[in-house]
Structures are given as C-alpha cells and as structure tokens.
C-alpha cells in the first residue's frame, strides 16, 4: 500500500542564503520535493533573493504565497524553511497568519548564528575586506540568479550577514517573536495566531572516515568557530539556536547541508534526512494542516 501524506494545505519549501529554485537541471530541493510529491503532497518552491536581509526576503515570500493561493484556490500554506528560509517563513506568518497554516524551521538560525558573528567581526567597516566581501558575495549571488532565471531580484551581502548575526536576529525576534522559546534550549509556543510552529536541526557528525567529501569537511571545520555551542552545532547554526515551536529534535547526526539533501554511501540509511520531511508531512496531515 502506497503511503499517503497529503496535507490540507500546499507545502512551500523556502530556501536560505545563496539558495535557488533551479539552475539548469539542478534543483536545490530536488530530493525533498520528489519525496513529498511521491506521498501525495502539493509542493512549491518559491524563489527569494539569494542574499538579502530577513524582511526583504520575507516580503518576497509573502508575494509568492499569494500567487500560490490564487493559483491553487487554497486558503493557507505550510511553510518549511531551511536555514535563513526559516526566518522568511516566520516573517510571513507574523504578517499574514490568516494565510499560513504552519511554519517549520529546518536548521534555522532562530537566535542567530555564531558563525555569522565571527564573519561579521572579521570584516572591518570602511576598509578593503568589507568591500571585497560585499563585491564577491554579490557577484556570486548575481551569477546564481542569472543561471536560475531570477536576475531581477535584489541582493545585499552585508545586509544578509548582519541579519544572521546574534544581534541581527535578536532585533528581528523583538518584532516577530512568534514560536520562540522563553528559555534557552526549550520549546516555543505550539500555536500562535492560528499558526502551528515546529523545528528540527542537527549537529556535525564525527568524521569516521579520512574524507566524507568537501562539504562535510567544511561544515566540520566551521563548527570549530562556535563558542557558546561548541560541538553542538551543524557548522552554520547552533543546536539550541535553532529551536522554534515544537522541537522535534535538534541533534540529528546531520550537518547544515545534510538536512537538505539525501545522504550517500554507507551513511545513506542511517542519516536519511529526506525521510524527515515525509514524516513531517504525515505530522502535518495528522494535525489537519
């Protein structure tokens, strides 16, 4: 018997920093999208600016939510945001709760990123490093946008970085606190203004082989820049910093990018992050979402 995980409302997969919907034959959410469609879910991937602050990207998401609602006849959507996509999803839900059934944060920096703090401090305002970083990041984002067919979307590298720091997200949270825990490392409110909040994330797994690939090695190396959540982060976001709403689990043995794509090799069965999205569709279905 085929698994049926059809949800009451369409699912929107919201990408994070440097994300995109499609570049040529490559789709960022390909594995997730295909797995959800296979179990009956209606899935869309909105395209937001590859690098910009949380509110600009949130406004872009709101516009695309309205397009999905018009096109499908649905009244609400389920938002699943990866990384910075979780902040855009939170923004949309805060401003238009009547159009959002649920927000799910996957590896979202809901209390900021210590890595962003480190990188921002490394860029000296008004000096060459900041200018170089701005130009390189913006040019890369422009390149991605050209390839993806969304070249008209604005980009601002420094605004994106500042928006992901502990201070930047703290300011964001002051305005949009829905679903945030009241105690560090705890759960947040399950329901706020009719919107259901969930989250899950991982921590960098121990490297048991000489090399699991360049991406895993990069995440492992970046994890060393954390202080508050040393050994409790996925290379980009701290475990407890990711908490929002009902915390399904925040220590899956998955780095930041492994929560987005299917594992390969001997770790494929142990760390199948794609199955987490299917399980979540069933969770949304059971909650009549």
Q: Which residues are known catalytic residues?
A: 83, 234, 256
Q: Would you say 158 and 130 are in contact if contact means Cβ atoms under 8 Å apart?
A: yes
Q: Rounded to whole angstroms, how far apart are CA atoms 124 and 250?
A: 33
Angle, alpha carbons 36-69-199 (nearest 5°): 45
Parallel/antiparallel/unpaired status of strands 100-106 and 77-82: parallel
Q: Rounded to whole angstroms, how far apart are CA atoms 164 and 145?
A: 21
Q: Where do runs of H (alpha helix) occur along 194-272?
A: 214-222
Taking alpha carbons only, the member of 218, 201, 221, 188 closest to residue 109 is 201
For residue 181, give the DSSP letter. Answer: B
């Amino acid at each position: 018997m085929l698994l049926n995980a059809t949800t009451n409302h369409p699912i929107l997969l919201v990408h994070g920093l440097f994300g995109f919907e499609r570049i040529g034959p490559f789709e960022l959410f390909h594995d997730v999208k295909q797995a959800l469609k296979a179990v009956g879910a209606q899935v869309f991937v909105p395209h937001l600016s590859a690098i910009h602050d949380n509110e600009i990207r949130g406004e872009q998401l709101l516009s695309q939510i309205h397009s999905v609602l018009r096109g499908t006849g649905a009244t609400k959507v389920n938002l699943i945001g990866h990384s910075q996509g979780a902040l855009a999803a939170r923004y949309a839900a805060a401003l238009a709760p009547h159009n959002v059934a649920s927000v799910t944060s996957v590896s979202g920096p809901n209390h900021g990123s210590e890595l962003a703090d480190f990188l921002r401090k490394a860029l000296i305002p008004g000096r060459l490093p900041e200018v170089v970083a701005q130009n390189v990041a913006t040019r890369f984002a422009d390149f991605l946008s050209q390839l993806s067919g969304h070249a008209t979307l604005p980009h601002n590298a420094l605004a994106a970085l500042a928006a992901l720091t502990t201070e930047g997200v703290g300011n964001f949270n002051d305005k949009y606190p829905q679903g945030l825990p009241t105690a560090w490392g705890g759960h947040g409110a399950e329901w706020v203004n009719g919107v259901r909040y969930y989250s899950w994330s991982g921590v960098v797994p121990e490297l048991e082989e000489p090399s699991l690939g360049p991406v895993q090695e990069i995440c492992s190396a970046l994890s060393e820049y954390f202080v508050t959540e040393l050994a409790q982060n996925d290379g980009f976001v701290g475990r407890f910093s990711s908490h929002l709403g009902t915390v399904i689990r925040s220590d899956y043995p998955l780095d930041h990018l492994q929560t987005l794509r299917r594992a390969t090799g001997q770790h494929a069965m142990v760390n199948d992050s794609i199955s987490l999205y299917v399980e979540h569709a069933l969770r949304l279905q059971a909650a009549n979402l």
